[in-house]
Amino acid sequence: MKKLVIMGVMLLMLAGMVFGQQITRVGVIDLQKVYMTYYKDSQAVRAFEEEKQRAQDEIKRLGDEIRVLQARRLELQTAGNTDSLKALDETLYKKAQFLQDYIKVKQAELDEKAKALSQTDTFAQLLYRTVQSIAELEGFSLVLSSRNANDVVTSIIWFSPMIDISDKVIQALVGTNR
């Protein structure tokens, strides 16, 4: 009988831990569909999305150039052509550095434009508030864009502050640096 009571208490504790854990629900939104539905109202947002896509295309183009040069480098290395290899290494380094700098600058530029757009464009503000409202009503902790997973800027549209663990990480890091 005593074992049965102990097992029952342990089972209740385990059930409490399972139900005490918050389940994170993720929602997905097709922003292009929303923009096309509200074509006239979303002009500024669509222009921003087009600029993001142009930046992404340029990053892809620059990355492709580097990959071609890396393949050429492998050919030169296999052939033992050290003089051409040295010159190509220098070119590769410069192109890689340029790509890295381009991404940094473009990311900062797009972040600034996104911030300005979210503060000045009434459609962008309305869209954000609507996504937030529906997400909270439906119990989503995170809403992702379904079409821009590879874009320069984040694909997170909205998230519940409840899933943000930044403060916990900072606290843990503060504890380890003492």
Name the band, by pLDDT with cuts 50, 70 and 90, for residue 153.
very low
Token output for 115 = 């911030």
Lowest-confidence segment of 2-11, 103-112, 165-174 by average pLDDT: 165-174
| Most confident stretch, 21-25, 39-43, 94-98 | 94-98
The pLDDT value given to residue 68: 95
Q: How many CB atoms lie within 10 A of CB 135?
A: 21
The pLDDT value given to residue 177: 53
Lowest-confidence segment of 46-50, 52-56, 133-137, 163-167 by average pLDDT: 163-167
CA torsion angle 164 168 174 175 (round to 10): -160
The mean pLDDT of 20-33, rounded to a whole number, is 72
The pLDDT value given to residue 168: 60
Dist. CA 103–CA 153, nearest whole Å? 10
Mean pLDDT score of the chain, rounded to an integer?
Answer: 78
End-to-end CA gap in the chain: 49
The mean pLDDT of 52-77, rounded to a whole number, is 93
Check pLDDT > 50 for residue 151: no
What is the distance of C-alpha 36 from the center of its chain?
23
Residues near 62 by beta carbon (within 8 Å), at least 6 away in sequence:
95, 98, 99, 102
The mean pLDDT of 81-87, rounded to a whole number, is 87
The pLDDT value given to residue 139: 82
Token output for 95 = 């192109």
